[in-house]
Amino acid sequence: MDERSDRSVRFDEYLDRLSVAVGGKSRRRGPLGAYCTGLLIPGERKSMEPMAARLDPTRVQAMHQSLQNFVSQAAWCDEAVLTAAREYALPVMEEHGSIEAWLVDDTGYPKQGKHSVGVARQYCGMLGKTMNCQAAVTTFVANESASLPVAHRLYLPEKWAADPERRKKAGVSDSVQFRTKWEIALDQVEWMMKAGIPDGVVGADAGYGDVTAFRDGLTKLGRAYVVGIRKGIAVWGPGKGPAPAPEYPGRGRPATRLRRDKDHKPESVLKPATALPPEAWQQVNWREGTQGEMSSRFARVRVWAAHLDDRRTEPPPTEWLLIEWPESEPEPTKHWLSTLPEDTDITTLVRLAKLRWRIERDYEELKQEVGFAHFEGRGWRGFHHHAALSIAAYAFLVAERARLSPPRASGTSPFKAAPLPSGFRPRGSADPA
């Protein structure tokens, strides 16, 4: 049996697993297989109608209706599909190394109009600007060889969450309440812990790392982290800290809280960086890139993150402040806080801080190759069903690449292209003539 035949057998067996996850009903096996196949075969657009045209050129309308019913209306569990996908891909990923990180991020889906669930004017990372879009939070598991999304949820803006009419039209259940992105991320981390997913250090960019409540939440859950922070975040540098509580004056209740005064003030993370001696800095290589070794200059120092010190009775534990300062730059360019142990070497800190590059590539492939951002429905159920199936399709690609030795980081789809039928034009599109 050749490689293409082997892959076809593995894909059929994988679809059997997924069909159990969507309820095990035989009538769902057909549209499930068709939808996942449509997401994987090459094609410029992976919305339902173009997929239907590629999958069954002689019965486009019937195929489109079947996909529509399965994704937008059928009541099956997204979490069960994500679990089946994860359990299929993770063992193959771990053949190349244990899971090292849980990486949190959010992404935007540009949208026109105002009726798609969760759409609002907000920052869209895909385009790098504020515009009309949907946003969703995703958590990935990763090692040096591969990464995979395992949790995904739409961010519902507060105005949407408080609008009963819009919620009803979009099919948002009463159990869904407003949650900030960092709260959604914490929910996902807690769910992953309960699901028994292999442990990893939590990584996130400054959009999450700047939020003290997010970092404190991870600590309460017992999760170590390496998170980006902006240079305005305040810390207590080495040998510094809030003043102790004043001495008891002999009457009333004694003061117990720490305090700040003119001699005890936290400082921007830039201050500890610029105060470090030259020997504290070293060149660190963290991975092999397409144009050679990825390398920069780093230093680290133990600090206390300064927040609500006057409400504490004792300083918080120290943590690592990791700083990147290329010699060509006038000041440090990136900062991270980490609760990894004190004996963690700087190369490990840098490597885990930089591991987020994997999910940037994942998002690119999910959106461009697997149709992650191509869903055109407006409802809550359809949005999450499409996302779960897109992740499931991607999980199969991740597993296929991980079977190679060495594992392939990315590449073209292993599925044959299926051209659109002659003269096909999706509804609502302009007549090319």
Looking at the predicted structure, is the pLDDT value of residue 75 above 60? yes
Is the per-residue pLDDT at 273 higher than 60? yes
Q: What's the confidence (pLDDT) of residue 408?
A: 59
H helices of 334-407, in order, are 346-354, 357-368, 380-402
* 212: amino acid identity, one letter: T
Q: Which of 218-232, 310-324, 337-351 has the lowest mean pLDDT?
A: 310-324
Of the chain, the percentage scoring pLDDT greater than 70 comes to: 85
CB under 8 Å, gap of 24 or more: what pairs does 68-71 form? 69/31, 70/28, 70/31, 70/32, 70/35, 70/385, 71/31, 71/35, 71/377, 71/382, 71/385, 71/386, 71/389
Please report the pLDDT score of residue 335 as a whole number: 97
Q: Rounded to whole angstroms, how far apart are CA atoms 335 and 325?
A: 9
Query: What tens digit of pLDDT does each residue of 159-198 get?
Result: 999 999 999 999 999 999 999 999 999 999 999 999 999 9
3-state secondary structure at position 255: coil
326 pLDDT more than 80: yes
User: How does pLDDT run across 375-412, given as a tens digit for each residue?
Assistant: 999 999 999 999 999 999 999 999 999 988 666 555 54
pLDDT in tens, 104-126: 999 999 888 888 999 999 988 76
Distance from C-alpha of 326 to C-alpha of 334, rounded to nearest angstrom = 10
Which comes out higher in pLDDT, residue 7 or 256? 7
Name the one residue in this structure whose structure tokens are 């540009």.
110
Q: Given a cut of 90, is residue 4 above it in pLDDT?
A: no
The pLDDT of residue 44 is 81
What does the block give as tokens for 236?
Answer: 């207590």
What pLDDT is attached to residue 312? 64
Give the whole-angstrom CA distance, residue 3 versus residue 349. Answer: 39
Structure confidence at residue 69 as a pLDDT band (50, 70, 90)? very high
pLDDT at site 77:
95
Q: In the predicted model, is pLDDT for residue 248 greater than 60?
A: no
**Per-residue model confidence (pLDDT) at position 63:** 95
∠ Cα 375 377 383 (to 5°): 65
pLDDT value at residue 310: 62
Contact 295, 284 (CB under 8 A): yes
Rounded-to-integer distance, Cα 321 and Cα 274, Å: 13
Q: Report the C-alpha gap between 177 and 211 in whole angstroms.
A: 20
pLDDT of residue 265: 75
Q: What is the pLDDT of residue 185?
A: 98
Give the type of residue at 278. P
Residue 239, pLDDT score: 73
Tell me: the pLDDT tens digits for 48-67?
999 999 999 999 999 999 99
Rounded mean pLDDT of 65-86? 96
